Structure 1
């Protein structure tokens, strides 16, 4: 179950991975949001040039048992989006004033986090925290901007005495995955979920019995399908990715959740590690 369920965001994120017929339903809903709560299943089928069965199948793909519960969720999502209508994602424009850029980037980052909360499965976060707490070792895998997120995760979990390491190039990832065993956790970070180097290492990690956690966009992908625990993010639909800013912020937020979850559950033990590392760093600053 998502923390703040918003089916319109889910449809937007999953649209490209749907079947052609389901995509027709999705595109019509996204283009005509306001009228959807007033349509019967037959009316929506006719409007989207599909069939009653196709609409029902689409509802089930989106995680609903029937059309009625789907429509109720659409209505709730519309109410939520009305409150946020002024906070739409904004792409980089040539010649923007710096004040405009500051405002737009701040708003985009906040929306990335808010939208991620709409698709993130709370029970999956709980499973991931449990796996991390009971793990022998933790290995983080990411390429490019996702590699920076992996390095941030390594820095955080090292501070609480977790045996962990981040691997950010294809060759080292294959080597690391080969050394994984049962009791280890491998966290694969990829916005697309289709990065070849990540998938190659994933294959090896699964064969070796490691628990695989995926942090990737809310859509059907090789990574999302093959992970033991899936943590989904939502990112802006804009043409210029600018170093994957939106996805990076969303992924860093997931890492923070996992770190805080582990640290809170094992607080008495973790507290002494954090105190030790803080005092060491403080002593260095005084020199």
Structure 2
């Protein structure tokens, strides 16, 4: 489990992709969190109108070996919940005062990063850094807001002399994926994990032997299931653009983690590239 693991966040994020029976258990837990640590598996099954076996399957879906370890995590999450309640996601309403908009946007972005720390797997981050360090080239794939994250990644990794490029439309993505091979990294960015263009490109990249890394929300999705390395983010479920803003901030944060991990591990080699790129841009600004 992650250092900042919060099982309540994981249940909230996973709920929409659960089976109907699992969703019954999830809804009961989220609505009765204070009671759950005191319930036996039989009591939780009865109160959620499911069965002992269903509750156990629910625990295993969330990565726990049994009910006891799941309940320990629930108790730990409740310990920090009082502090978190004052920082819940808040949607932007028409006619909101600008000062309220400023505060809510900042709070939502901060919470997206904090919640992402609860669901991201540190071992997967370490694997991603290793693969990126050893790669011949890195190709970033994303559409819409995710494409902006890909452009940011391309700019960062280019600065340390990594051969990389980003593609943000379906035709160029398929062309690029067709030319990938063993030793290359196909890096996918998709909040939903179900974007048709991305999934089609993933199939082509994998068929050609590239290692696949994906950033997507903590949920069951085809992208999450089929990627070699999975980097999960947590995002708010809000009704207007503030939700998309939060997911973008979480994705950019993961890119920063990977870039810093690669640059730190290879600092003796990459510092000359960082210095060169800094100096050329600084010189341009002085003109």
- TM bucket by the smaller chain? over 0.9
Kindly indicate whether residue 15 of structure 2 is the aligned counterpart of residue 15 of structure 1. yes
Q: CA deviation at 1:243?
A: 7.4
Distance in 2 between residues matched to 1:58 and 1:44, nearest whole Å:
11
Distance in 1 between residues matched to 2:253 and 2:68, nearest whole Å:
33
- Mapping of residues 110-259 of structure 1, within 5 Å: 110-242=110-242, 244-259=244-259
Distance in 1 between residues matched to 2:12 and 2:188, nearest whole Å:
23
Instruction: Decide whether the 8 Å contact of 1:235 with 1:246 is kept in 2.
Output: yes
TM-score, normalising length: structure 2 = 0.99
Instruction: Decide whether the 8 Å contact of 2:235 with 2:243 is kept in 1.
Output: no
Q: 1:24 — aligned with what?
A: 24
Q: What is the DSSP-based 3-state SS (H/G/I as helix, E as strand, rest coil) of the residue aligned with 2:223?
A: helix
1:168-187 deviation line (CA, Å, top 9, x unaligned): 00000000000100000011
CA spacing shift, 1:128–1:195, aligned 2, 3 Å: same
TM-score, normalising length: structure 1 = 0.99
Q: 1:70 — aligned with what?
A: 70
Distance in 2 between residues matched to 1:56 and 1:258, nearest whole Å:
35
- Compare 90-99 and 218-227 and name the one that shifted more: 90-99
Runs of 4+ that moved beyond 2 A: none
Instruction: Decide whether the 8 Å contact of 1:120 with 1:231 is kept in 2.
Output: yes
Distance in 1 between residues matched to 2:146 and 2:61, nearest whole Å:
28
Instruction: Decide whether the 8 Å contact of 1:3 with 1:120 is kept in 2.
Output: no
Instruction: Decide whether the 8 Å contact of 1:145 with 1:243 is kept in 2.
Output: no
Distance in 1 between residues matched to 2:214 and 2:282, nearest whole Å:
35
Distance in 2 between residues matched to 1:231 and 1:27, nearest whole Å:
25
Distance in 2 between residues matched to 1:256 and 1:79, nearest whole Å:
30
Distance in 2 between residues matched to 1:179 and 1:238, nearest whole Å:
39
Distance in 2 between residues matched to 1:11 and 1:201, nearest whole Å:
30
* Structure 1: 5+ residue stretches without partners: none
Q: What is the DSSP-based 3-state SS (H/G/I as helix, E as strand, rest coil) of the residue aligned with 2:114?
A: helix
Q: How well do the aligned residues superpose, as a CA RMSD in angstroms?
A: 0.8
Q: What is the DSSP-based 3-state SS (H/G/I as helix, E as strand, rest coil) of the residue aligned with 1:277?
A: helix
Q: 1:261 — aligned with what?
A: 261
Q: CA deviation at 1:206?
A: 0.2
Q: What is the DSSP-based 3-state SS (H/G/I as helix, E as strand, rest coil) of the residue aligned with 1:140?
A: strand
Distance in 2 between residues matched to 1:242 and 1:43, nearest whole Å:
39
Q: What is the DSSP-based 3-state SS (H/G/I as helix, E as strand, rest coil) of the residue aligned with 2:239?
A: coil
1:78-119 deviation line (CA, Å, top 9, x unaligned): 112211110000001111111111110000000000000000
Q: What is the DSSP-based 3-state SS (H/G/I as helix, E as strand, rest coil) of the residue aligned with 1:86?
A: helix
Q: What is the DSSP-based 3-state SS (H/G/I as helix, E as strand, rest coil) of the residue aligned with 2:148?
A: helix
Q: CA deviation at 1:238?
A: 1.1
1:28-74 deviation line (CA, Å, top 9, x unaligned): 10111111111111111010000111111111111111111111100
Q: 1:33 — aligned with what?
A: 33
Q: CA deviation at 1:163?
A: 0.3
